[in-house]
Copies of this chain bind each other. A is one copy, B any other.
Amino acid sequence: MSFPHGTLQGTSLIGKQVFSGSQAVIQAIDPATGETLSPAYPGLGKGEVEQACRLAWSAFDTYRETGLEERAGFLETIADEIEALGDELIVRAMAETGLPRARLEGERGRTCGQLRLFASVVRTGEWLDVRIDPALPKRAPMPRVDLRQRHVSLGPVAVFGASNFPLAFSVAGGDTASSLAAGCPVVVKAHSAHPGTSELVGRAVQKAVAHCGLPDGVFSLLFGAGNEVGQALVADPHIQAVGFTGSRAGGTAIMATAQARPQPIPVYAEMSSINPVFLLPEALAARGAEIAEGFVGSLNMGAGQFCTNPGLVIAVKGEALEAFVAAAARAVSGSGAQTMLTPGIHAAYSKGVETLAGAARELARGEVGDGPNLCQTALFRTQAADFLASNALQGEVFGSAALVVECEDLDEARAVAERLEGQLTVTLQMDDTDLGAARTLLPTLERKAGRILVNGWPTGVEVCHAMVHGGPYPATSDSRTTSVGSAAIQRFLRPVCYQNLPEGLLPEALRDDNPCGVTRLMDGRREG
């Protein structure tokens, strides 16, 4: 085994130990050159998956009762350790993904910022949702006993790294950060597209676990070609929830496995979205060319390999729409070819564009470029009547490809909105005088999407408290949650009620004197 990239060893991490599997090998490919990157990562077998899950289980009762400060410190240590990887992480991630340096440096900042946000969330203790209903011994006809509630950790979580954010949605990304924040050990199935990046980050987390003196089962990182490791992970009885970002086929397979277990478990799969953009009439007339420029910029961002890539534009027919279409087509024609993440993603993109080409009219393609795995931006057009009659036109094409849907009038635009599947985002381009039209659309859009934007583009996802990166199926498997932002912690918690417990047995967060200093619902009234 060679070590051409610094410290990489090509191994899985089970707790503090390294494991070299004996199954089929994963090897990264530099998508810009087609070159295979060392080292090779032999896949694990079922026995090792079970071992990692058992270890996570053994760490669970200790880890879930770490104090707020201790757990927050651990999350911050992970961020520090990732930063300490320095440029080796960026260089390796560039080679494995074809993404440019600036993007990856930004993503590293986001990843570490996210870990630190969850540290601050842990410290507030809001997530404990402490509720105290004091005893009412004199209540008639029946006295009330003392009842207290807090949230506890669900259990070990299986996290699947995503291809398109090798840092922010991967080994130490949002699912891992929110699981660890919730007190849940994590077993990560590394994405096969960036194993070296995964190993580097995995070792950083491993170091943080050791540095903080936590049980080593708090974190493991598994490699495996194909679906066996992932399926075994989801089926393992010690795993209590799943975080996944990826394709609809992958997400629904995981949902099926999770439901078929003797004990079904929650799956948080973020899967498929075409992120419709409605161009309302006045905005379209007033600034169609400017909107076209913003739209194509968002469409091309990261070669369109964002869950929030705007793949659908809906507008009412007329001169203003024609002007927009002409400007968007010009911008698309001038779009440079960009390297996609993997040969597989490039192949799926090409197939998706072909399907669109068969069902809609091509308006423009971007530059062809020179090299392997290039995304050639694509813009298509169709009539609302055809869109309403077709499921194929709603399929997600992962990469820079979009479809403009021309409507007869606003009523038809609303019918298109009603016809949509669940989405991560819906965008309105509107001016003040479009307010009436926007109000008419809003109830439908609220039923369809997790986030509604006005006069922006969906490709930026702020990591904050109010963010919802979620939405009705098939955008996600569970519309009641978000995978980005501080509310993501709630996915990995469940409530427990403690009735009449003596002070000495009561969890610290529930004690009368509130030693954790958390906000509480006292007899239904918010306090502190």
Which residues of A approach B to under 8 Å, CB–CB? 61, 65, 120-121, 124, 126, 129, 131-133, 142, 144-145, 147-149, 152, 154-155, 255, 259, 263-264, 266, 422, 432, 435, 438-439, 442-443, 446-447, 449-456, 460, 462, 464-468, 470, 472-474, 477-482, 486-487, 493-502, 504-505, 519, 521, 523-524, 526, 528
Given pairs A129-B487, A454-B502, A465-B523, 18 additional interface contacts (CB within 8 A): A61-B443, A61-B447, A132-B466, A133-B462, A145-B462, A147-B464, A149-B487, A263-B472, A263-B474, A435-B504, A438-B505, A453-B499, A454-B505, A455-B500, A468-B497, A480-B493, A480-B494, A526-B526
Q: Give complex CA distance A313, B126 in Å.
A: 36
Q: Are B468 and A495 in contact (CB under 8 A)?
A: yes
Contacting residues, chain B, for A255 (C-beta < 8 A): 259, 264
Q: Are A497 and B450 in contact (CB under 8 A)?
A: yes
Given A255-B259, A521-B465; A499-B152 close (CB under 8 Å)? no
Select A477's contact among B155, B264, B498, B499, beta carbons within 8 Å.
Answer: B264
Could you show 6 A-B contacts with beta carbons less than 8 Å apart? A61-B443, A124-B524, A263-B472, A454-B502, A456-B500, A480-B494
Q: Give complex CA distance A255, B474 in Å.
A: 18
**What's the minimum C-beta distance from A478 to chain B, rounded to whole angstroms?**
8
Q: Are A496 and B466 in contact (CB under 8 A)?
A: no
Select A466's contact among B126, B131, B453, beta carbons within 8 Å.
Answer: B131
Number of copies: 2
**What's the minimum C-beta distance from A260 to chain B, rounded to whole angstroms?**
10
Q: Give complex CA distance A204, B290 in Å.
A: 57
Select A454's contact among B447, B460, B482, B500, beta carbons within 8 Å.
Answer: B500
Q: Give complex CA distance A1, B211 in Å.
A: 78
Given A465-B133, A468-B149, A526-B519; A495-B487 close (CB under 8 Å)? yes
User: Which residue of chain B has the shortest Cβ distance to A456 in the bound complex?
Assistant: B500
Select A144's contact among B129, B148, B464, B473, beta carbons within 8 Å.
Answer: B464
**What's the minimum C-beta distance from A140 to chain B, rounded to whole angstroms?**
12
Q: Are A502 and B432 in contact (CB under 8 A)?
A: yes
Select A259's contact among B259, B447, B479, B524, beta carbons within 8 Å.
Answer: B259
Q: Give complex CA distance A10, B482 in Å.
A: 45
Given A422-B263, A495-B482; A466-B148 close (CB under 8 Å)? yes
What are the 3 tightest A-B residue pairs by CB atom distance, in nearest-first order? Answer: A468-B497, A149-B466, A131-B466
Contacting residues, chain B, for A456 (C-beta < 8 A): 145, 499-500
Output the residue of A443, A494, A519 with the most chain B CB within 10 A: A494
Q: Give complex CA distance A498, B148 in Å.
A: 34
User: Which residue of chain B has the shortest Cβ distance to A432 in the bound complex?
Assistant: B502
Contacting residues, chain B, for A477 (C-beta < 8 A): 264
**What's the minimum C-beta distance from A308 to chain B, rounded to whole angstroms?**
11
Q: Are B263 and A496 in contact (CB under 8 A)?
A: no
Q: Are A502 and B149 in contact (CB under 8 A)?
A: no
Q: Are A439 and B505 in contact (CB under 8 A)?
A: yes
User: Which residue of chain B has the shortest Cβ distance to A148 in the bound complex?
Assistant: B466
Output the residue of A126, A263, A466, A480 with the most chain B CB within 10 A: A466
Contacting residues, chain B, for A454 (C-beta < 8 A): 499-502, 505
Select A131's contact among B133, B465, B493, B526, beta carbons within 8 Å.
Answer: B465
Contacting residues, chain B, for A145 (C-beta < 8 A): 456, 462
Q: Are B524 and A133 in contact (CB under 8 A)?
A: no
Q: Are B450 and A144 in contact (CB under 8 A)?
A: no
Q: Give complex CA distance A155, B473 in Å.
A: 13
User: Which residue of chain B has the shortest Cβ distance to A144 in the bound complex?
Assistant: B462
Contacting residues, chain B, for A266 (C-beta < 8 A): 478, 480
**What's the minimum C-beta distance from A141 to chain B, rounded to whole angstroms?**
8
**What's the minimum C-beta distance from A377 to chain B, rounded to whole angstroms?**
24
Contacting residues, chain B, for A473 (C-beta < 8 A): 263-264
Select A464's contact among B121, B133, B449, B455, beta carbons within 8 Å.
Answer: B133
Contacting residues, chain B, for A449 (C-beta < 8 A): 496
Select A435's contact among B126, B264, B505, beta carbons within 8 Å.
Answer: B505
Q: Are B451 and A497 in contact (CB under 8 A)?
A: yes
